[in-house]
Amino acid sequence: MTRTARWTTVVLTPIAIVSLLLAAFPSFATDLGLDVWNVSELERQIEECSRNSERYSRETKYADLRGSLKRDATTQLIRGERDFASTVDYFENLNNEDEKSMQFTRRFFPAKNDRCSCAKQVLCYVKNSPEIASPEVIAHLTAECDEFIGDSEAK
């Protein structure tokens, strides 16, 4: 056996044995106080990340559903199948189901009250539906929104 082969055998054999032991018995390093990677903490972090991922996935699906319901209501409003006030009520109910949704609405559609914020949100949905909302419809609903907000703020 050459000197390099002996050296390789002497160095790599213990490394291979330790690696196999660590792989076969994950708690082995912790039991010996050799857990340089802090495996138990990493496992806890992985579990926490997994729980957070599942929660975010549920929240995202629910937010997508609310967005879809709002788009459907907006389409009905544009087609004249529902009126502006009932659409605002619908948006307000959907937003109130999730506090984060209402916080978003308050932040991006500031107004005197939540109802007026929701009215502004409805109008935003209308303006972001140019494929189905003609400029005349948008102008009409903008005027209706302004009137709605004026009436709501006066109360």
Question: Residue 104 burial (CB < 10 Å; 0-12/13-18/19+)?
Answer: middle
- Arithmetic mean of pLDDT, 3-7: 75
What phi, psi does 154 have (nearest 5°)?
-75, -25
Helix H segments across the chain?
A: 3-24, 28-32, 39-78, 84-96, 99-108, 114-127, 135-154
Residue 22 has pLDDT above 80, yes or no: no
* pLDDT, mean of residues 123-138: 88
Residue 23's pLDDT is 73
**What are the pLDDT digits (tens) for 30-69?**
666 666 677 788 889 999 999 999 999 998 999 999 999 9
Residue 122: pLDDT above 90? yes
- Given this model, what pLDDT does residue 75 score? 94
Question: What percentage of the chain exceeds 90 in pLDDT?
Answer: 57
Yes or no: say if 138 and 127 are a contact pair by the CB < 8 Å rule: yes
How confident is the model at residue 87, as a pLDDT?
Answer: 96
Cβ(116)–Cβ(153) under 8 Å? Answer: yes
Average pLDDT over residues 65-87: 94
Q: Taking CA 139 as the corner, what is the angle to CA 127 and CA 79, rounded to the nearest 5 degrees?
A: 70
Contact 120, 91 (CB under 8 A): no
pTM, rounded to two decimals: 0.67
pLDDT at residue 26 tops 90? no
Tokens of 98: 């999730």
Domain ranges of the chain: 1-34, 60-154
